[in-house]
Amino acid sequence: MAQSIAKEFTKGLWAEIPPFRLVLGLCPTLAVTKSVENGIGMGIATTFVLVFSNLLISLLRNVIPSKVRIACYVVIIATFVTIVELLMQAYTYELFLKLGIFIPLIVVNCIVLGRAEAFASKNGPVLSVADGLGIGLGFTLSLAALGAVREILGNGTITIWGGTPVFEMGANFMPFQFMIEAPGAFVGLGLMLCLMNLIGKK
């Protein structure tokens, strides 16, 4: 049992890491990864939703009639997303302003609905929570990594919570503005996907 929990948890970190392995949830991936901070914030919000929706859907999997399952999943997911939105508004208002519309859009994030349909509806609550945590953490790591690449190239800094950057390129570094604009997201994501495929190639 413990082994399979560990397996479900770790698969989200490499073998099925979204959005690189499961190319799902691209909308927030492309839109909010202008900086490491935004990426981590979005990742944590999504992880919260994933864990709780997986848990609830797994507990209710024998009660929910299969014909209306998607509607039930969407109600459950939307509830948790709204809770996250309210909590972020109450406690991390600045981050809420930066992520803006992409918080409510977690409802239609394919990763969340995908895990509900593909995993939580077929497995027990413990495994489902492990799956949600793993996938959520993988998503957070991916967003942070993509955010880091874009922020370093586009701005020359890494800033995490607070005004002063924790890392700065030398004074001779010319920021590559393109990377923190929308098209830079596609280029960054494409390059990282390519890198992942090269590393994963046997």
Task: Map residue 36 onto helix, strand or coil.
Answer: helix
Residue 91 binds to other proteins (criterion: CB under 8 A): yes
Is the Cβ of residue 42 or residue 72 nearer to other proteins in the bound state? 72
Cβ-contact 168, 156 below 8 angstroms: yes
By CB under 8 A, the count of residues binding other proteins is 23
- Structure token pair of residue 18: 């979204």
Residue 82 binds to other proteins (criterion: CB under 8 A): yes
Burial profile 60-80: b = 16 or more Cβ within 10 angstroms, e = fewer: bbeebeeeebeebbbebbbeb
Q: Which of 86, 118, 191, 194 binds other proteins (CB under 8 A)?
A: 86
Site for other proteins in 57-76 (CB under 8 A): 63-65, 67-68, 71-72, 75-76
Q: Minimum CB separation from other proteins for residue 193, in Å? A: 26
Cβ-contact 136, 46 below 8 angstroms: yes
Instruction: Describe the chain by its helix, strand, coil percentages, rounded to 5.
Output: 75, 0, 25
Q: Minimum CB separation from other proteins for residue 24, in Å? A: 23
Site for other proteins in 93-122 (CB under 8 A): 93-94, 97, 100-101
According to DSSP, residue 168 is labeled E
Q: Which of 6, 59, 70, 83 binds other proteins (CB under 8 A)?
A: 83
Which region, judged by CB under 8 A, interacts with other proteins, from 35-43, 86-94, 109-117, 150-158?
A: 86-94
Task: Map residue 174 onto helix, strand or coil.
Answer: coil
Dist CA 54 CA 65 (whole Å): 17
Is the Cβ of residue 76 or residue 127 nearer to other proteins in the bound state? 76
Is the Cβ of residue 9 or residue 96 nearer to other proteins in the bound state? 96
Residues 6 or more apart whose Cβ sits within 8 Å of residue 173: 156
Binding site for other proteins (CB under 8 A): 63-65, 67-68, 71-72, 75-76, 78-79, 82-83, 86-87, 89-91, 93-94, 97, 100-101
